[in-house]
Structure 1
Amino acid sequence: MEDGSKPTILVTNDDGIDAPGLQALVRVLVSTSRYNVQVCAPDSEKSAVSHCITWQHPISAKEVDIYGAIAFAVSGTPADCASLGVSKALFPTIADLVVSGINMGSNCGIHVVYSGTVAGAREAFLNDIPSIAVSYDWVEGKSNIHNFTLAAEACKPIINAILLETKNRTYPQKCFLNVDLPTNVANHKGYKLTTQGTSTYRIGWKQVTSGTHGGKMLSTMTMETDNEAPTETDILSVSPEHLMFKRETRGRQIDGNDGTDRHSLKEGYITVTPLGVLSRAGLDCHAYFKDWLPSVTENCSSPAL
């Protein structure tokens, strides 16, 4: 950003450009009159697509009207949208910060790998743009649409601090942030620096027939109901010669470490988790394979097992 000019924020998501989380975030950012706000988001829901990108065919972008922002609905994935948004092919200026969200459902632990919301922030980071992924821990029966506005307001201190550090050239360039807001965001316990944990749903499969409810969820796969079961909405329509299967949850693996993202989120904190692009194996794995790899070539002439 130039001295004296407003910083520019690019907003994307994976729930789609019409999603209440994105709409609330844009409305809050625009209402401050402190930022230039750009929106480049999927034209339909793209939850749990991870870092999928469109490679072999063009994608379309249609300008839409959102609360005074310059906004485009794009036919690609969240990673596509972030990449296009910071490329100068769509907007005349490159954003100072990319915010991906606000997702309807938390993105903690292993679900960071699956999340399109996190992928939007990761893609911006790969393009050397500071970025954060923002998710709200929506629980059916407890949450309401107004919570997204509260979540957006709660993110402003983080957004403002990043922009200031970026302007001063003191912001670290080796990570991006994953922010999760608790269900009772109005009474959150504060901001807590956390590490990515290993919490995840245990996922199984069962065979279904034509007329059975499908397994598409309203949002990212960690959106919860009171009993932590996904909401099923679609009706399958299949030809009889096809076998059809759908995912189903079979419980959850929970972190016991109070320093991890999901554990702290469920305690009522706004969790702030620095993430990198690469997932490195543990040191014990490197120690094992240091001895194992030479033995592979030494034993290559041995009879097969």
Structure 2
Amino acid sequence: MDVPGAIAADRPTVMVTNDDGIDAPGLRSLVHVLVSSGRYNVQVCAPDSEKSAVSHSITWQHPLAARRVDIEGATAFAVAGTPADSASLGISKALFPSVADLVISGINMGSNCGYHVVYSGTVAGAREAFFHGVPSISLSYDWVFGGIRSEQDFTLAAEACLPIIGSILSEIKKSSYPRDCFLNIDLPTDVANHKGYKLTKQGRSIIQMGWRQVTSDMHGGKMLSTMTMDMDSLVSTEADVSSMSQEHLLFKREVRGAQVDDDATDHRFLKEGFITVTPLGALSPANVECEAFFKDWLPNVA
């Protein structure tokens, strides 16, 4: 019988991080499914609180606090930092004695398609591991806030990812897994009836945001939570805004619309019910048309 938290030398090690915080249902469901499979040693190194939409920010000028957290079957730490901090610390050998074979960031509460990949702390957790040569994937679930969805859906989402996780680790063991990219995976809302895996490319979908001035005497004023933006319904939940003194101007974000990419890209196939698998890199080359313009333009700059 396996002892919870015990390390089995013949099993690959998976490290889990996220941006919703170590207590988030997506991370807890993923860890539970990984542990219950009996196939993996599981490490957890994740932010101690919600850190959505922090992108790839890192803590630079002061030490990070990490505390041990009790998660059955895993060795887990909560970090007072960002997702990128957590991923970096977790694979540094400063916290765990060995580097994980695979880093998984997620499961995020909400999809990360199109331009939202740039904002995503979930994607950044996987990207940070990729920077350091560790295979990684980010997992996001197009979970509907409110309605008939429940946290049990995150378990279904985690189970739907097991085949691809197992296959990746098999390729890593054979030294045949590519090291020049990492994978961004999005799961559709009706994950129990998904249409299978679909290899996609990153599109240009994005929620279009604006700002509106509010007054500090608005008791219980509200501010948009980046976790809850939905590309189709434009529904958002809100968080409290604290009062400020009158000499400050106070603004809050609000949804103004959406730019939806109808091409054969990640967002479109996710909405069609596929589990989208999008290889990403760390470089951001411009498209061919832009390169051609600047090639002709630059020599004429005085």
TM-score range, shorter chain: over 0.9
Matches within 5 A, 1:104-115: 104-115=109-120
Instruction: Name 1:192's counterpart in structure 2.
Output: 198
Which of 40, 46, 49 is the aligned partner of 2:51? 46
Distance (Å, rounded) in 2 between the aligned partners of 1:165 and 1:235: 48
Instruction: Name 1:276's counterpart in structure 2.
Output: 281
Matches within 5 A, 1:146-295: 146-210=152-216, 211=218, 213-217=221-225, 220=227, 222=229, 224=230, 227-257=233-263, 259-295=264-300
Aligned residue type for 1:165 = E
Distance (Å, rounded) in 2 between the aligned partners of 1:43 and 1:185: 28
Distance (Å, rounded) in 1 between the aligned partners of 2:232 and 2:298: 48
Map Cα deviations across residues 224-249 of structure 1 (whole Å, 9 max, x no partner): 39832210121331111100111111
Distance (Å, rounded) in 1 between the aligned partners of 2:227 and 2:41: 28
Map Cα deviations across residues 150-180 of structure 1 (whole Å, 9 max, x no partner): 0000000110011000000100111100000
**8 A contact 1:139–1:226 mirrored in 2:** no
- Residue 216 (structure 1) shift: 4.1
**8 A contact 1:225–1:231 mirrored in 2:** no
Give the stretch that moved more between structures: 229-238 or 154-163: 229-238
Change (3 A) 1:86 1:4: closer
CA RMSD in angstroms, aligned pairs only = 1.5
Instruction: Name 2:95's counterpart in structure 1.
Output: 90
Segments of 4+ moved more than 4 angstroms: none
**8 A contact 1:213–1:232 mirrored in 2:** no
**8 A contact 2:34–2:40 mirrored in 1:** yes
Give the stretch that moved more between structures: 225-234 or 72-81: 225-234
- Residue 4 (structure 1) shift: 6.5
Corresponding residue pairs, total: 292
Which of 11, 19, 22 is the aligned partner of 1:14? 19
Q: Please, what TM-score do these two structures have when normalized by structure 1?
A: 0.93
Aligned residue type for 1:13 = N
Distance (Å, rounded) in 2 between the aligned partners of 1:115 and 1:143: 22
- Residue 221 (structure 1) shift: 5.2
Look up the SS of the partner of 2:128 in the other structure: helix
Give the stretch that moved more between structures: 244-253 or 205-214: 205-214
Query: Structure 1 stretches of 5 or more lacking a match?
Result: 301-305
Look up the SS of the partner of 1:159 in the other structure: helix
Aligned residue type for 2:251 = F
Q: Please, what TM-score do these two structures have when normalized by structure 2?
A: 0.94
Give the stretch that moved more between structures: 227-236 or 285-294: 227-236
Map Cα deviations across residues 267-288 of structure 1 (whole Å, 9 max, x no partner): 1110000001111101111111
Map Cα deviations across residues 72-131 of structure 1 (whole Å, 9 max, x no partner): 000010000000000000000100000000000000000000000000000000010000
Distance (Å, rounded) in 2 between the aligned partners of 1:77 and 1:153: 26
Aligned residue type for 2:182 = F
Look up the SS of the partner of 2:92 in the other structure: coil
Aligned residue type for 2:45 = C
- Residue 214 (structure 1) shift: 2.7
Distance (Å, rounded) in 1 between the aligned partners of 2:293 and 2:89: 42
- Residue 55 (structure 1) shift: 0.3
